[in-house]
Amino acid sequence: MELIKGVNVRQTKIITDERGRLAEILRSDWDIFKKFGQVYFTTAYPGVVKGWHYHKLQTDHFFCLKGMTKLVLYDSREDSPTFGKINEFFIGEHNPLLVVIPPLVYHGFKAISTEESMMINVPTELYNYEKPDEYRLDADTDEIPYDWNRNDS
């Protein structure tokens, strides 16, 4: 799959033993790390779509900790060589990926497991309560050529 310009993906190594599991999600010595703003988690119930939005300043680092999530990105940057491109990632317990989303790239996600999915994000910026760096569209907008329905073909 050709990635949208500025998007990075890193396969996470899960270390298991008789006590449980451990995975490093993001390290400051990895080349994909820029800076730290904060860490938060967000969840979605099965079948729920949270999208679309983008940031002008912030880079996101998404990781699905619980369940499975369909994370979708759309490049609406007219000056980008990947303008109009969609990237679709199936991430979570069965595919532990860290997905880095640059500023100005729309993104949204849908819980696709039978249980609530939990996403962790490590954005590069602090959330500004007075002037949020978030620009939103409805999940079913005509501005993004994407259908959130399940594709069984």
Give the start-to-end residue ranges of the domains of the chain.
8-19+32-136
Residue-level pLDDT at 148: 97
Q: Is the pLDDT of residue 150 over 90?
A: no
CA torsion through residues 126, 75, 43, 13, sign: negative
Given the structure tokens 């640059």, which residue do they identify? 102
- Using omega within 30 degrees of 0 as the cis cutoff, is the peptide bond preceding 52 cis? yes
Q: Are 119 and 63 in contact (CB under 8 A)?
A: yes
Residue-level pLDDT at 151: 81
Predicted structure pTM score: 0.95
Supply 30's token pair. 């990895």
Give every CB contact of residue 144 below 8 A, 6+ residues apart in sequence: 52, 74, 76, 106, 137
With cut-offs at 50, 70 and 90, classify the pLDDT of residue 28: very high
CATH architecture of the domain formed by 8-19+32-136: Sandwich (2.60)
Q: Is the pLDDT of residue 153 over 80?
A: no
With cut-offs at 50, 70 and 90, classify the pLDDT of residue 152: confident
With cut-offs at 50, 70 and 90, classify the pLDDT of residue 120: very high
Supply 47's token pair. 């079948």
